[in-house]
Structure 1
C-alpha cells in the first residue's frame, strides 16, 4: 500500500526541480563570468632599457584581435603583440623613455567565446608602471667635487657627491641595477710619482633601489636578488694594491664579474688579467699577453687585442680562444644582445695610413662602415641596433698635423654617415649614449698648456686637465632612421667622463 506524499517531500521535490532547471540553464548558456586581467607583469615596477616586453595574464581565453585593438598605453609606446594561451606579451620597438610614468588601459575587449555584439566584455583594467630615473654619474673637477664621483639625477633634480674627499677617482663603471659604482682610486695624500701605481678598486652605493619586473615569460625573476636599500656614499674596498699594481679594469654586464689588468710590483714581467667573482679571492687568467680588453655581453668571455688581431677568450685559465679576428686592433663596444661588435682596423698603407670602423656580427659577417685618416675613439650601438654613434676625427689639411673631432652617427644598414656635431680640437672627449637612446652626454675639457702642471687627472697628451664642461645632445630620428642634426644643450655642470646609469 502506497504511502501518501508528505508536504515536506513535495517541497523538496519542487526545490530540486527548480535547481535542476537553473543548473541546466547555466550549463547550456556557459560560464558568463566577466573576463578580467589577472596579472600585469609591470604593475608599479621601475622599467629599464633591458625590459623589452610586458605580459598581461587573463582569467579566460581571449579574442586576440579585440584585445589588440583596445589596448591603450599613455604616453604611447609602439610595439608588437604575441600570445601564449591566456597570456599576451607586448614587445616594445624601442626602450621606454626614462623618467616617465605610463598608464596601460584595456576596455571593451571580449573573451574567445563571446559574440562580437555581446553585451559586457572584459572587466575594465587600468595599470601603471614607471621608467627609471634619468640619471648619470660624472667625475667632478671643481671645488668640493674635484676628483670625486658625483651623481646627477635629472628626474628628481638632485645631486650627490658619492666618494669621500680622501680618494682621487681615476675611472669608474656603473653596476647594471644602478645601485653601485665600481671605481679605481688613489689616496689623495700619495706621493705624485706613486699615484698611478697606488690604484685600488672600490664600490660605492648610489642610494638607488630599483623595483624591477621579472624578465620575459618566466614566472620567477631572473635578475640579481635585490639587496636591502643602502644610503648613497657607502664605500667598500674590492681589490687592494699590496702586491700588484691595478691598471685597466672592466665590469661584466651582469655585474657579477670583474676583470683587472695587473702587474707584479716585484716582478714586472708578471703582467696579465685577473678575475674577481663574488667573495672569492682574485684568480689570474693564464693567456697570451695582450692589450685592451672588453667583457662580452654574455658575461662569460672577453675580447682582447693579442698580436696582430682580436682574440675572444673564455674566463678559464689556459683555455683556447673561442675565436680570433686577425683584421682588427681595437674593439670599441658590443651590442647589448651580444650579436655584434664595433671594431677598428688599422690600414697600414705607408703612403696613406687610415683607420676603418667595422660592424662585425657573431655570424661572421663583417661590414666596413667608414674610413678616416684620423682616429676612431669611441662607438656605441643604439638600443635598436639601427645606428652606431661614434667619436671620430679627420685630419686637417696643412703642414702641421692636427685632427678635427666629430660626434657622428652611421647607419648600420646603409653605412650613411651623419656628422651630428663638430667638436673642439682636442684629444680627450668622452661620450655616453642614454640607455633609452634619446640623448648623448659628452664633455669638453680644458687642459693645461704645460706638461709639468699639477693635477692627477691627465689627458691622452699627458697634460693635466684643469676644467671640463658637460653637454647634452638630444637625439631625434627621421623617417629614414637617421638622427637629425640639432643643437646641443650646455649643462651647468663642470665634470669629466659622464656616464648614464643603466
Structure 2
C-alpha cells in the first residue's frame, strides 16, 4: 500500500501571503475611506507667455474641491488681482487688469481640501502645486531718424535692451501698425529714390518675435508687398483689431474724382497672403477707424460720422452720428468711443459716447485733439491735445492729459514745447507706460535734402527723440509727479508691440 500526502509548495505559500496582504490593504482602505489626495490636473498657462489679450487662466482638479479653501490658499507671485469663478472641477481666474509685461510669475496652491473632506470631518489636503508663466517682453516699433536707420522700421526690446532693423534701406516707411500677435507689421513705404509722398505701397514685414512659447515663426525682416501703387495712390490705412482686414484710402492716378475707401482681406494663417481689394461704396470719406469687432468702419462724412459695414452694403450706414465729426478711439470691447465735436466758435469738444446712448462731454480745447487711447486697466482715457497760445500766428502747444471716465476729473501729465504739433503718442498694452516722440524740423535757414523724412503733414524731419512716461497703477497717489525719460533711440512714430 502506497501512502500519499499533500504538501504546500513554496510558490503556494508566497501566493497565499500576497493574497492575505492585499486583503489586509483593501480592508484598511475600506475602513479609512477614500484617502487619495486631490491634485491639479491642468493649468492652462503652464510655461506659457501671455499678452494683454490673455485675461484668464483655468485650473482643472482631479476631484471636486472645497472652493473656499482653494480661493484662500491660491497665491500668484507677483500678485495679480483677479476674480474667481467655478464650473464643477474647473476654476477660472480672471484678471482685473492686464498682467504687466516683462515679468515672470509663479502660481502656488497648497493647503486646500476636497469637497467631501469637510462633509466627512476629515482634512484631505491637495497635493502641493506650483506653476509658472511669463508675460511678453516690453518691445516698441518706431521709424529710425538717424543716418544709419533713416526711414527704416526698427524694433527695440526694452526688456532685453536689444535693437533690430526690420526693413531695407531702399524703403522709407511712412506709417505702420502691428498685427495683433506682434509677429508682423503692416506698413506703407515709398522708394528712397522717389521723393513723392503719394507713391506709397503697402507691405508686411516679420518681427521674428513669436507670440507663444515654442511657436515656430519666420525670421525678422521678411518683407512682402500687399498692395501696389500702379493704378491708385495709397494714402491712409487702418488694420482691423483681428488682423484680417485692411481699409485703405485710395485715389486713382489719372482720375482724381475716383477717390474713396477700399478694403482688403488677409489670410488669417499667413498675413502675407491677400485677396483682391474691393472698393467700399460710400460717400467721399474723411478720417476713418475700424471698429473693435473688425466688422465695420467709422468714417467722417460731411458734418458727422457714419458707421459703414465691411460685410454688407456700405451705401447704407449702420448708424450715423451727425453731431460728431471724428472718432479718435474705441475702447477694446467696443462699448465706448472718444469722439470730437467741432463747434462754430472754432473750439473742439471731446465726448465719451457709449453703446447705451450716453454722450458725456469730457473737455473743450481751443486747439486740436490729436489722439486718444483707452486704458484697459482702469476707467481712464489718455489724450494728446493742443491749446492755442497765439491766435495771430496760430501757434499750438501740445500736452498730455489723463481723464477719469467716471468722475470726469482731468489730470495733466506733460506740457510739450509750443509749435511742436507733430507729436505721436501710444499707450502700452498693459497700461503702464506712454510712448511719445519729439520731432525736430530743419531750421528756417537750412534747405532739407530732396528725399528727407517727412511727417504726416509733409514737414521735413531733421531728427527726433523718443520718450517713455511710466504710468502708475489704478491706486496711484495723485500727488506723485511722473516725469518722462528719454530713450537712447533716434526715431519717431513710436508704437508698442501688442
TM-score, length-scaled by structure 1 = 0.89
Q: Distance in 2 between matches of 1:240 and 1:417?
A: 44
Contact 1:477 1:484 in 2 (8 A): no
Q: Which residue of 2 aligns with 1:221?
A: none
Contact 1:387 1:482 in 2 (8 A): no
CA-atom RMSD, angstroms?
2.5
Residue 228 (structure 2) pairs with residue 235 (structure 1):
no
Q: Which residue of 2 aligns with 1:498?
A: 494
Q: How does 1:90-489 map to 2 (within 5 A)?
A: 90-115=93-118, 118-190=122-194, 192=195, 195-211=196-212, 228-277=216-265, 278=267, 279-316=274-311, 318-319=313-314, 320-349=316-345, 353-396=346-389, 399-425=392-418, 426-450=420-444, 453-454=448-449, 455-459=451-455, 462-477=458-473, 479=475, 484-489=480-485
Pairwise CA distance, 1:318: 2.9
Q: Distance in 2 between matches of 1:398 and 1:243?
A: 42
Q: Which residue of 1 aligns with 2:270?
A: none
Pairwise CA distance, 1:327: 1.1
Q: Distance in 2 between matches of 1:397 and 1:267?
A: 40
Contact 2:114 2:124 in 1 (8 A): no
Larger displacement relative to structure 2 (472-481 or 58-67): 472-481
Q: Distance in 2 between matches of 1:28 and 1:369?
A: 70
Pairwise CA distance, 1:453: 2.7
Q: Distance in 1 between matches of 2:186 and 2:39?
A: 45
Q: Distance in 1 between matches of 2:278 and 2:158?
A: 39
Contact 2:41 2:60 in 1 (8 A): yes
Pairwise CA distance, 1:65: 0.7
CA deviations on 1:237-286 (whole Å, 9 max, x unpaired) are 11111111111111111111111111111222111111111332111121
Larger displacement relative to structure 2 (96-105 or 269-278): 269-278
Q: Distance in 2 between matches of 1:199 and 1:403?
A: 29
Q: Residues 373, 448 of structure 1: CA spacing in aligned structure 2 closer, same or farther, 3 A cutoff?
A: same
Residue 65 (structure 2) pairs with residue 62 (structure 1):
yes
Listed as ranges, the gaps of 5+ residues in structure 2 are 1-5, 268-273
Q: 1:80 is matched with which residue: 76, 80, 83?
A: 83
CA deviations on 1:216-238 (whole Å, 9 max, x unpaired) are xxxxxxxxxx9742111110111
Q: Which residue of 2 aligns with 1:219?
A: none
Larger displacement relative to structure 2 (396-405 or 328-337): 396-405
Contact 2:399 2:416 in 1 (8 A): yes
Q: Distance in 2 between matches of 1:416 and 1:229?
A: 44
Q: Residues 276, 399 of structure 1: CA spacing in aligned structure 2 closer, same or farther, 3 A cutoff?
A: closer
Q: Residues 487, 15 of structure 1: CA spacing in aligned structure 2 closer, same or farther, 3 A cutoff?
A: closer
Contact 2:386 2:421 in 1 (8 A): no
CA deviations on 1:398-440 (whole Å, 9 max, x unpaired) are 6543222111101000111111001111110001110000010
Give the 3-state SS of the residue equivalent to 2:93 in structure 1: strand
Give the 3-state SS of the residue equivalent to 1:198 in structure 2: coil
Q: Distance in 1 between matches of 2:341 and 2:472?
A: 30
Larger displacement relative to structure 2 (124-133 or 261-270): 261-270
Pairwise CA distance, 1:337: 1.2
Pairwise CA distance, 1:105: 0.5
Aligned residues: 477
Pairwise CA distance, 1:452: 6.0
Contact 1:411 1:417 in 2 (8 A): yes
TM-score, length-scaled by structure 2 = 0.90
CA deviations on 1:89-121 (whole Å, 9 max, x unpaired) are 111111111011100000111110113974550
Pairwise CA distance, 1:24: 6.4
Give the 3-state SS of the residue equivalent to 2:406 in structure 1: coil
Q: Residues 260, 397 of structure 1: CA spacing in aligned structure 2 closer, same or farther, 3 A cutoff?
A: closer
Give the 3-state SS of the residue equivalent to 2:72 in structure 1: helix
Q: Residues 228, 97 of structure 1: CA spacing in aligned structure 2 closer, same or farther, 3 A cutoff?
A: same
Contact 1:356 1:368 in 2 (8 A): yes
Q: Distance in 2 between matches of 1:266 and 1:400?
A: 37
Listed as ranges, the gaps of 5+ residues in structure 1 are 1-5, 213-225
CA deviations on 1:321-358 (whole Å, 9 max, x unpaired) are 11111111111111111111111111113xxx210111
Contact 2:432 2:473 in 1 (8 A): no
